[in-house]
């Protein structure tokens, strides 16, 4: 099955700086890569996603890049704000084989005011 | 609120007891997933349904765990003879199942086995 690895496990940045979280996956057939943000005690919420036919996608301060050849994808948050502090999870899935989602172990991001 | 609803929010039980959790997905979603999450870890897949059919079950899931979705709407997850290692957050999620569609999570049921 799919194996998703995520780094770093913790990340601290100064407010206004950028944050980058990286994930790798093992199954070249995976074709959909969502990112979730989970605040303490709350549900994971989708913040951005990318499909395998796209190399990059941006939504305001958040962007995701995908390198299918290297089987890795990254989340970029620019101009970080204290409310960006949360745990971020990457995931990979294959819509052709049932769309099961495999999650990374999470990155705890702290934005220091 | 038309999101995914889970009940109860918290459950404390003694080791050896049975517990059952309920999930109501977003109404037009035909796929329903159960995940387990422990502190500091990502959601771990347990099982998923397309309509009323249980399509996949994790090999990590012991025989003490069973899930149903009898009418293709709400789902229940039952854990029999609970163990302390079952203590975790149990998350339900649903998706439309159309191509690459994201998961929408509920708030989860936090189980504590004493």
**How close A89 comes to chain B (CA, Å)?**
7
C-alpha–C-alpha distance, residues B38 and A112, integer Å: 26
pLDDT tops 70 at residue B1? no
A109 vs B41, residue with greater confidence:
A109
Considering only CB atoms, A101 lies closest to which of B103, B106, B108, namely B103
Tokens of A110: 């702290």
pLDDT for A100: 82
Q: What are phi and psi of A80, to 5 degrees?
A: -60, 150
Q: What is the mean pLDDT of residues B37-48?
A: 90
Q: pLDDT value at position A68? A: 93
Token pair for A28: 């070249």
Tell me which of B45 and A21 has the higher pLDDT.
A21
Residue-level pLDDT at A96: 77
Q: B40 vs A104, which has greater pLDDT? A: A104
pLDDT score recorded for residue B19: 98
Helix/strand/coil (H/E/C) assignment for every residue in chain A: CCCEEEECCEEEEECCCCEEEEEEECCCCCCEEEEEEECCCCCCEEEEEEECCCCEEEECCEEEEEECCCCEEEEEECCCCHHHCEEEEEEEECHHHCCCEEECCCEEEEEEC
Please state the length of chain A: 113
Query: pLDDT at position B21, please?
Result: 97
The residues of chain A scoring below 50 in pLDDT are none
Cross-chain Cβ contact B102/A100 below 8 Å: no
A105:B107 CB<8 A: no
Quick check: B105 and A101 CB within 8 A?
no
- Contact list in A for residue B103 (CB cut-off 8 A) is 34, 44, 46, 91, 101
Contact B26, B2 (CB under 8 A): yes
Q: Are A12 and A86 in contact (CB under 8 A)?
A: no
**pLDDT, tens digit (0-9, with 9 covering 90-100), for B46-100:** 999 999 999 888 887 889 999 999 988 999 999 999 999 999 999 999 998 777 8
């Amino acid at each position: 099955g799919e194996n998703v690895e995520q780094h770093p496990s913790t990340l601290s940045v100064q407010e206004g700086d950028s944050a980058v979280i990286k994930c790798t996956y093992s199954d070249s057939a995976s074709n959909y890569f969502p990112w979730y943000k989970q605040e303490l005690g709350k549900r994971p919420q989708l913040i951005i996603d990318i499909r395998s036919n796209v190399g990059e996608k941006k939504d305001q301060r958040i962007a995701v890049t995908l390198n299918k050849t290297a089987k890795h994808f990254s989340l970029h948050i620019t101009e970080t704000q204290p409310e960006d502090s949360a745990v971020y999870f990457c995931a990979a899935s294959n819509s052709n084989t049932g769309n099961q989602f495999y999650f990374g172990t999470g990155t705890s991001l702290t934005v220091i005011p | 609120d038309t999101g995914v609803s889970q009940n109860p929010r918290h459950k404390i039980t003694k080791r050896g007891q049975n517990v059952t959790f309920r999930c109501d997905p977003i109404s037009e979603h035909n796929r329903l997933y159960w995940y387990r999450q422990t502190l500091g870890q990502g959601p771990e897949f347990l099982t998923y349904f397309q309509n009323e059919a249980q399509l996949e079950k994790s090999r990590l899931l012991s025989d003490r765990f069973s899930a149903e979705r009898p009418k293709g709407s709400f789902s229940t997850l039952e854990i029999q003879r609970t163990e302390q290692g079952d203590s975790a957050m149990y998350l339900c999620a649903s998706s439309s199942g159309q191509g690459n569609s994201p998961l929408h999570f509920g708030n989860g049921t936090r189980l504590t086995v004493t």
